[in-house]
Amino acid sequence: MAGLAESGANPDVDLLYDINGLAKDAPHWFDRVMEFVGEWGLLLAMVLLVMWCWWTVRRRGGEDAASSVAGLVWAPLAAGIAVLVNVPIRGFVERPRPFFDHQGLDVLIQGKTDYSFVSDHATLMMAMGVGLFVANRKFGLVGIGLALFGGFCRVYMGVHYPTDVIGGFALGTAVALLLSPLAMALLTPVTRAVERSPSAGWLIRARGASPEGEEKTSVAGAREGTEPEAEERDLAA
């Protein structure tokens, strides 16, 4: 399997040259931006997105706050497990980086000597994106979008074949989804216990956040707003 995609006459290699060819036509500063974004920037953005989702969930409160935070805890755990699963896959396939077998690539980052299939970056980011989707669909869709762009960056940088990235997406998604029922069953009781803790409960729900969530709070507020009017009618009668 080490010779996978070594021939230039296949769609995988053709797409590699097409996407990486964009780097040759781009300004030098843009390539440097893509190098940072593809190597570290999107990973940082994914972590910040998870933190933003956690901040939103705890401020909103609600009965599902503990389960939502459990999903957020699962997101980075899923990423770590997926990368560990990838270790034997890489060793079994032993696919060299594309620039070892194909000439003329514009490689934006040097020093990549490990195997190419499956992409760790694509695996990690998609696992976090799908894990985030388990906790919150809106934030999860943004996370999946970041993962897709991250996969494009890895090919643009000349360090992965497109199928490396697709394999990473598949692996990250499989780990995050298939193990999520077990993970949620184990993590949710823990987050509920933390929620009941006087000292650590703020990690699940912000102080003053309604246990019923924003919707019931707003309904209660509307009812309170009608009470003075009812009292005035009673006094007038």
pLDDT (tens digit per residue) in 69-113:
999 999 999 999 999 999 999 989 889 999 888 888 888 888 788
Asked if residue 231 is part of any domain, the answer here is no
Q: Give me the half-sphere count of Cα atoms (radius 13 Å) on the Cβ side of residue 73.
A: 19
Asked if residue 191 is part of any domain, the answer here is yes
Asked if residue 121 is part of any domain, the answer here is yes
pLDDT tens digits for range 16-71: 999 988 888 889 899 999 999 998 999 999 999 999 999 988 888 777 888 889 99
**Is this model's pTM higher than 0.95 or not?**
no
For the cut 60, the answer to whether the pLDDT of residue 227 exceeds it is no
Q: CA-CA distances (angstroms) from residue 186 to 29, 124, 191, 218, 223?
A: 47, 22, 9, 33, 39
Asked if residue 232 is part of any domain, the answer here is no
CATH code: domain of residue 39: 1.20.144
Instruction: Report DSSP state, residue 198.
Output: T
Asked if residue 60 is part of any domain, the answer here is yes
How many CB atoms sit inside 10 A of residue 62's CB? 20
- Distance, in Å, from the CA atom of 221 to the CA atom of 218, rounded to the nearest integer, reads 5
Asked if residue 1 is part of any domain, the answer here is no
For the cut 80, the answer to whether the pLDDT of residue 115 exceeds it is yes
Domain tally, the chain: 1
pLDDT score at 34: 92
pLDDT score at 150: 94
How many CB atoms sit inside 10 A of residue 88's CB? 9
Reading the block at residue 78, the tokens are: 């899923």
pLDDT score at 208: 62
Among candidates 164, 176, 227, which has minimal Cα distance to 5?
A: 164
pLDDT score at 103: 84
Reading the block at residue 153, the tokens are: 């960056």
Give the residue numbers spanning the domain of 114.
11-214
Asked if residue 22 is part of any domain, the answer here is yes
CB-based contact 140:132 (threshold 8 Å): yes
Asked if residue 236 is part of any domain, the answer here is no
